[in-house]
Amino acid sequence: MTIQWFPGHMAKARRQVTEKLKQIDVVIELLDARLPLSSRNPMINEIVGEKPRLILLNKADLADEQVTELWMRYFKNQGIRTLPIDALSGKGVNKLPAYCQELAADMLNKRAERGMQARAVRIMILGIPNVGKSSLINRLAKRAVAQTGDRPAVTKAQQWVKMGDSLELLDTPGILWPKFEDQMVGLRLAASGAIKDELIDFTEVALFVIAYMMHYYPERLTERFKLKQLPEDRVEMLEEIAKKRGCLVSGGQVDYDKAAEIFLRELRSGKMGVISLERPEDWEMAEPIGKPLSLSQADF
């Protein structure tokens, strides 16, 4: 699904989320474990405010476990609890109810002090498109309440889904936009498959990922493409990939775009192993790896 994120739509999305939040005790912020900050809404702290929050690092099955640990530490330092999960297989999801109960303890205690009846903790899921919100809702509800993947925009009344006696989940997630102002974010989202292929320049995105892998995962490249040594730069690396995958045009020239597309498909299908596309330190670097991509708000 491509969402046309124009300023009016962002304001509307924010209003809708803010409205839903009034009924919520604990917010579940869903991020992509491979690119947590790039898959995060830039105004999330302002939107969520002081409400207790849990960050779920979804698609952890596709991320580098060691890097996921660095991210958990990063968010812990900001006072936010994280849980890596895989919404498809359900791995990690069973810990969620206990975490939500802990985060809602203040609210529950206050109610008890005032002599009010105990009630279920109400939670909702917030995240950018394609991060796995519907997959998680279906997993938590143990049935298909939210549709995943491509679907027409169908509006239906929101409902609470009971999760045991102590938790209630809002069956419609809050959809927010990513950070458009940062072009590196666009590259990471494109690499992860979050942006429609028709809208991306394969070569640009592949060169970004190649540069990243030459730095952090050089042996994956040499092993996958059977190279004795790593080439000098990323363009040479893409040339090698083109040669290995038979992407040649007449006159012996290489077809960069075809090679880039093949490379990205191999990356996304996990053929190069689990890979994280950003690390906390990338956000502190003066010269980021890779070059910017020109994406507009309408591309998401």
Instruction: Say whether residue 149 binds ligand GTP (CB under 6 A).
Output: yes
Which residue among 17, 24, 87, 163 contacts ligand GTP (CB under 6 A)?
87
Which residue among 64, 86, 261, 282 contacts ligand GTP (CB under 6 A)?
86
Q: How far is the CB of 134 from ligand GTP (least distance, A)?
A: 3
Instruction: Say whether residue 39 binds ligand GTP (CB under 6 A).
Output: no
Instruction: Say whether residue 1 binds ligand GTP (CB under 6 A).
Output: yes
Nearer to ligand GTP, 170 or 175 (CB): 175
- Among 4-12, 53-61, 104-112, 218-226, the segment contacting ligand GTP (CB under 6 A): 53-61
- Among 67-75, 124-132, 195-203, 276-284, the segment contacting ligand GTP (CB under 6 A): 124-132
CA dihedral 16, 17, 20, 21 (to 10 degrees): -150
238 to 257: interface string for ligand GTP, x by CB under 6 A: --------------------
Residue 132 is labelled as binding a ligand: yes
Strand partners, 126: 29, 174
Q: How far is the CB of 116 from ligand GTP (least distance, A)?
A: 34
CA atoms within 13 A on the CB side of 86: 9
- Counts of helices then strands in the chain (DSSP H, E): 11, 7
Determine how many CB atoms are found less than 10 A away from the CB of residue 133: 24
Cα-Cα end-to-end distance for the chain: 8
Instruction: Say whether residue 169 binds ligand GTP (CB under 6 A).
Output: no
CA dihedral 277, 281, 286, 291 (to 10 degrees): 0
Looking at the chain, list the stretches that DSSP marks H as alpha helix, in order from N- to C-terminal side: 7-21, 44-48, 65-77, 96-103, 105-113, 133-141, 183-192, 202-216, 218-224, 234-244, 256-268
Residue 131 is labelled as binding a ligand: yes
Residue 156 is labelled as binding a ligand: no
Nearer to ligand GTP, 92 or 280 (CB): 92
